Amino acid sequence: MKHFRQLEAARKQELFLHVPEQFDDRTDRRLLAVALGATLYVPATRPDLVDAVRKRAAEGVCSMVIDLEDAVADHQVDDAMTNAIASLDTLAGTDAAEVLLFVRVRTADAIRSIAERLTTGVGALTGFVIPKFNSETGGKFLQEIASASELLGKHLYAMPVLESPELVHRETRDHELREIALLLAEHRDRVLAVRIGATDMCGTFGIRRDRDLTIYDVRVVADVIAGIVNYLGRSDGTGFVITGPVWEYFADHERMFRPMLRATPFVEHDAVRFRQHLVSRDLDGLLREIALDRANGIQGKTVIHPSHVAAVNALSAVTHEEFHDAQDIVGAASGGAQASGYRNKMNETKPHRSWAEQTLLRARVFGVTNKGVTFVDLLTALVDR
């Protein structure tokens, strides 16, 4: 599979200096984690689940989660699991669904049940999402995924979701994060990425953030995210790729505050009406939150609506300026500092090296835009499809 594959070859040539590379679930773990991009959740109860996966894959979605947890009512769990297994078996029999597929389970025992009932579907399954992951129960989930991998003869990944009260509550957070860090380190090759479940975190305080605010404006949750990145997002070889929490909104509404999307970039690219479209669909808040995710060491994002995918993936592409800065930093033979080739910043070899290496990884799977091409151009091309 490949990001932005839905664009025509001529359009990609206009937009990209280097087009994205292909990848699949056998790709190096670190690169594959970066490649997740926008991970779209879909309820396992959908009767058209196979068609839904194929449709979204054709639209450019590269990672999806078949949800057996929050999106499924208690009395529907058994039917939903049967549907998920049958859908995976069907999807594995075709090459129509070029997408990384994960199943979010409720219990560790469900992993074993799926593995025992799955047939050809193992070819379509990349791994499992573990909700409400904590240091006490997380080990059992990870062990069951390891057992399922052995049973099915395929390396299956885990994506734990951090959202439990032990993490949210200040008095238990540091101890819990230390224990989780130790647990995940024991299963490093199994853990693809760590996901953040901000909706459950907000629920701990009876909060539902407004569409005019990003998750970083909700301070009690922003503090938790900072702690997660501090413990689990380090660039010294002990960390993991951490993905951003879901953006809940996608419909028109009456706004209290001014839009969070500057008009200037759209005026410069003759896309004023496109900006109005983004604002009317609450995507200006999403774009702002994606930028803040990146500023806080987070890559990729959970999404619950197909309209969010293009925004997340467009902002994941590496700009011409970022790429050349990263190349200069990685290519420097020794320490020191030098002016950027764009003559607008200082590149310091040692402190910026980890950033540069991560940027070059992202460039491989999301591509490098041509000089002068901005996210407005790329997002416009994706939405116009």
pLDDT of residue 96: 52
Length of the chain: 385
- pLDDT tens digit sequence for 246-276: 998 876 554 444 455 555 555 455 454 544 4
Q: How confident is the model at residue 280 (pLDDT cuts 50, 70, 90)?
A: very low
Separation of alpha carbons 104 and 161, rounded Å:
10
Structure tokens that stand for 225 in this block: 């995210």
CA dihedral (250, 255, 258, 264) positive or negative: positive
Higher local confidence (pLDDT), 324 or 212: 324
Query: According to DSSP H, which parts of 36-169 are helical?
Result: 49-58, 77-92, 108-117, 138-152, 165-168
Is there a binding annotation on residue 200? yes
Question: What is the per-residue pLDDT for 95?
Answer: 57
| Over residues 223-252, mean pLDDT | 92
The reported pTM is 0.91
CA distances from 131 to 45, 65, 80 (A): 18, 12, 17
What mean pLDDT is reported for the chain?
90
Q: Which of 280, 282, 186 is nearest to 240 (CA)?
A: 186
Mean pLDDT of 225-242: 96
Taken in order of first residue, the domains within the chain and their CATH numbers are 25-316 (3.20.20.60), 322-358 (no CATH)
What is the tens place of the pLDDT at every residue in 294-338? Answer: 999 999 999 999 989 999 999 999 999 999 999 999 988 777 888
Question: In whole angstroms, what is the distance from residue 340 CA to residue 128 CA?
Answer: 42
Query: For the ranges 161-170, 182-191, 199-208, 270-279, which has the lowest average pLDDT?
Result: 270-279
Q: What angle do CA 361, 364, 367 make, to 5 degrees?
A: 120
What pLDDT is attached to residue 360? 98
Residue pLDDT, tens place only, 339-367: 888 888 999 999 999 999 999 999 999 99
What's the CA gap between 18 and 30, in Å, rounded?
20
The span from the CA of 143 to the CA of 131, in Å, is 15
Q: Give which of 110, 122, 108 is closest to 154, Cα–Cα.
A: 122
Q: How far apart are CA 288 and CA 28, in angstroms?
A: 30
In whole angstroms, give the CA distance from residue 190 to residue 143.
10
pLDDT of residue 335: 75
Please give the average per-residue pLDDT across 189-194, as a whole number. 98
Cross-strand bridge partners of residue 337: 348
* Buried b or exposed e, range 248-287, using 16+ CB within 10 angstroms: bbbeeeeeeeebbbeeeebeebebeebbeebbebbbbbbb
